[in-house]
């Protein structure tokens, strides 16, 4: 590696890079009307199935459902806390 290139990379303005990434992803999301997130999820699911063809297992599904139920209960409790005020 070129030492100067490494120093330039390490010393770059990270805030500007982060802002450019945010703008890129926001534009991509706005243009695709949210479909880009679904496409990414579908790609990840396809990859997971290639790596583990048995995924999701019955146990995986049961654990996922349990997490969703627990989250729903927490959201319900939080909603009631705001309504009670």
pLDDT for 85 equals 63
Greater confidence, 81 or 69?
Answer: 69
Q: For 31-54, write each residue's pLDDT tens digit.
A: 988 798 899 999 999 999 999 999
For residue 74, which phi and psi values (nearest 5 degrees)? -65, -45
pLDDT for 80 equals 84
d(CA 60, CA 49) in angstroms, rounded, equals: 13
Burial of 56 (0-12, 13-18, 19+ CB in 10 A): middle
Task: State the pLDDT confidence band at 84, using cuts at 50, 70 and 90.
Answer: low
Across 10-14, 18-22, 55-59, 67-71, least confident range: 10-14
Delimit the domains of the chain by residue range.
1-53, 56-85
d(CA 68, CA 62) in angstroms, rounded, equals: 10
């Amino acid at each position: 590696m070129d030492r100067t290139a490494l120093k330039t990379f390490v010393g770059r303005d990270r805030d500007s890079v982060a802002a450019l990434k945010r703008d890129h992803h926001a534009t991509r999301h706005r243009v695709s009307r949210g479909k880009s997130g679904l496409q990414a999820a579908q790609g990840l699911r396809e990859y997971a199935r290639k790596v583990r063809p048995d995924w999701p297992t019955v146990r995986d599904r049961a654990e996922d459902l349990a997490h969703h139920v627990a989250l729903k209960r927490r959201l319900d409790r939080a909603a009631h806390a705001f309504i009670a005020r």
